[in-house]
Amino acid sequence: MLDYDLVIVGGTSAGRYAALMASSLQARVALVEPLNSSQDLPAGGQGSIELGGKYSQILSESGRFAQQVSHQQFGIQWAAAGSPLPPQLQFDRVLQWAEAVVSNLNEINSVDILAARGVDVIVGNGEFIAQPNLVFAVGGRKLRSRCYLLACPSRSAIPNIEGLASIGYFTAETLGQLAKLKQLPESLVVLGGDPSGVEVAQTFSRLGVAVTIAVRSSRILMKEDADAARLIQAVMEAEGVRVLADTEVTQARIIDGKKWVQAGARAIEAGEIFLAAGRRPNFESLNLEAAGVKFNKQGLILNDKLQTTNPSIYACGDAAGGYPFPHIANAEAAISVKNALFLPVFKIDYRGIPWAIFSDPQLARVGLTEAQASRRFGDDILVAVEYFKNVEKAQMCGEITGFCKIVGRRNGEILGASIVGHQAAELIHVIALAVRQGMKVQDLAELPVVWPAFAEINGLTAAIWQLQRDRSNTFLRNLRENLFHWRRYWSR
């Protein structure tokens, strides 16, 4: 007899989400929480990427608000005697607020909630054992289940830089520790231009830290639309962040008690170092070979049903690779749970899943970038761009930096969209829903939008796309011209 319907190897928010979902479907579920990642258990630490992401978001909001109120475009003047202009952030109070918010957020899917919902939570590090039957062994117990779900965390990629390990650094997992330093460092060097690096760089720059980003590539955010990434980079540089593109860091050392890194031909003093060079799978301790699960440097080998090479073992979130966004991990968890508990007929479709990078302005995307669509569909695409400066709500709020770009096939199929600008993470959802429902670009153009609203930019961009398609259709243009000419002639 099997012990469980599903055993989840967790350590991430996606694992807890999957456990709650499976429990709500009346399945018997066990969630194995590793000792080094259970955020709210006595044995656990505070070193997960989700926790670091929460601190990053809260600190970013504080920095953004301070910058907003320091501007006077709305006619706001600090008139009280002795009041500072611009207002100064009190970092210790910001950190207190961040800790209170993180504590509240951690209660939402806490272990207590999981246990109350019927999930067996088992704390400990385990591994698969193949003989005589496949089980997951943890804490002296052997858990037998019909299916297993890998929802374990990845780890930050550590570049091979001479002396880096000896001088110390921070990663996405230890960002909370960086935020909790008694005193902010005078300078911060970010190695790599992935989303976490961009968010951290801009946040700490706005908190008064001198920030430098060093990337091997020609720009930051290489996976995103080139125009959108360049705009984010330009805004950050205008705010004082130094971006060193096409630069490889080869050495790190301590000289006269200070940290220094060799970035190309430059020697840069670094109060602290933050690594943002991507993620790496962390499967070594699970004994996946015994379970017949294959993986490579990029992660597990999965099919579109999120099954590994062992069809009874599924994966989601960090274990599945890709961007470490919690909502994508939850979407993968939902597919995995349904396939594991019922029949493996559900497939993951990433085309309609949006994501966002919480820089300022925000960068959000769904589907393909312009470059990706061009490589795949060639001349069968049309690209339309509209700018926030042409949106009335954006003008009213003084948030005119940014644009919306929609990429579609000539038949109206939406291939992708990128939005960079104020509240881009909210605006992208309408386009994502259109992609998931198989709607056309012209459907977006015809959607009435509340006035005034930033969402107007979606319809304006779709209307521009539709106009471009009409202008490129010579037959349709001639037909309309002849129709109106004929009507004017016979109406005399």
Contact 185, 273 (CB under 8 A): no
Residue 395, classed as helix, strand or coil, is helix
Residue 370's Cβ-count burial label (10 Å; 0-12, 13-18, 19+) is buried
Kindly report the pTM of this predicted structure. 0.88
Contact 416, 365 (CB under 8 A): yes
- For 465: left if phi > 0, alpha if psi spans -120 to 50, otherwise beta; the answer is alpha
* Domains in the chain with CATH codes: 4-156+280-350 (3.50.50.60), 164-278 (3.50.50.60), 352-474 (3.30.390.30)
pLDDT digits (tens, 9 = 90+) for 103-154: 777 777 788 889 899 999 999 999 999 878 899 999 889 999 999 999 998 8
Work out the pLDDT band at 39, boundaries 50, 70, 90: very low
Beta strand pairing call for 210-214 and 187-191: parallel
Per the structure block, which two tokens stand in for 1? Answer: 């007899």
Contact 31, 10 (CB under 8 A): yes
Cα torsion 42, 46, 50, 51 to 10°: value is 110
* Amino acid letter, residue 125: N
Per the structure block, which two tokens stand in for 6? Answer: 């599903």
pLDDT digits (tens, 9 = 90+) for 258-293: 999 999 999 999 999 999 988 888 888 999 999 999
Supply the DSSP symbol for 170. B
* Amino acid letter, residue 446: E
d(CA 231, CA 262): 27
Work out the pLDDT band at 47, boundaries 50, 70, 90: very low
User: What is the number of other CB atoms lying within 10 angstroms of the CB of residue 248?
Assistant: 14
